[in-house]
């Protein structure tokens, strides 16, 4: 199996990854509100871009995994776990001790994935997804609340 590698995206290239970011966040308006924040990495397998991951910074010790998206052909193969593991090592080496990740109450697969990766539910922001211009349904469930997960990476 070819290893995944993360490559930091230059600020002037970020908008080239909008479609990939929208695989994980359906609202173009919302993605555009954060696309220029934090650090954006393309995810490559061999020389092929297979996804994207964006991190923002909540404090001097805490980084947020804001968006992670893989092209459909690369999902459910353990690649997301590889990305999270690489990110944990990278941010630990750069002085961070926690990673936060948020997802919708309706994102059943994401909720399971993050818990399997060692994240713990720490908070719920009610009605967060009501700001989205179009309602989002997953598994027949309306996305309304933002679930906030945290993981220590000491």
Report domain extents, the chain.
4-152
Report how far residue 100's alpha carbon sits from residue 6's, in angstroms, rounded to the nearest whole number: 19
Cα dist from 47 to 83, 126, 136, whole Å:
16, 41, 33
Tens digits of per-residue pLDDT, 62-121?
Answer: 999 999 999 999 998 989 999 999 999 999 999 999 999 999 999 999 999 999 999 999
- CATH for 4-152 is 3.40.630.30
**Strand 62-70 vs strand 98-104: parallel, antiparallel, or unpaired?**
parallel
Contact at 8 Å (CB) between 141 and 105? yes
Mean pLDDT of the chain: 95
Q: Are 68 and 36 in contact (CB under 8 A)?
A: no
Which letter does DSSP use for residue 78 in this model? S
DSSP conformation class of 110: H
Q: How confident is the model at residue 1 (pLDDT cuts 50, 70, 90)?
A: low
Cα(86)–Cα(31) distance, integer angstroms: 23
Give the single-character DSSP code of 16. Answer: G
Reference 117, options 137, 95, 100, 141; nearest CA is 100
| pLDDT attached to residue 2 | 64
CA–CA dist 12, 54 (Å, integer): 15
- Whether the predicted model's global pTM rises above the 0.95 cut: no
């Amino acid at each position: 199996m070819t290893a995944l590698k993360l490559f930091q995206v230059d600020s002037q290239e970020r908008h080239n990854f909008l479609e990939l970011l929208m695989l994980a966040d359906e609202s173009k308006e919302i993605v555009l509100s954060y696309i220029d924040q934090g650090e954006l990495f393309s995810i490559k397998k061999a020389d092929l871009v297979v996804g994207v991951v964006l991190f923002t910074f909540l404090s001097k010790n805490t980084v947020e995994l804001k968006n992670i998206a893989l092209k459909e052909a690369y999902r459910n193969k353990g690649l997301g776990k590889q990305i999270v593991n690489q990110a944990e090592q990278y941010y630990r080496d750069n002085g961070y001790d926690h990673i936060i990740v948020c997802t919708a109450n309706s994102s059943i697969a994401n909720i399971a994935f993050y818990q399997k990766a060692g994240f713990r539910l720490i908070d719920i922001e009610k009605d967060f997804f009501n700001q989205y211009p179009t309602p989002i349904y997953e598994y027949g469930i309306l996305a309304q609340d933002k679930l906030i997960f945290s993981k220590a990476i000491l």
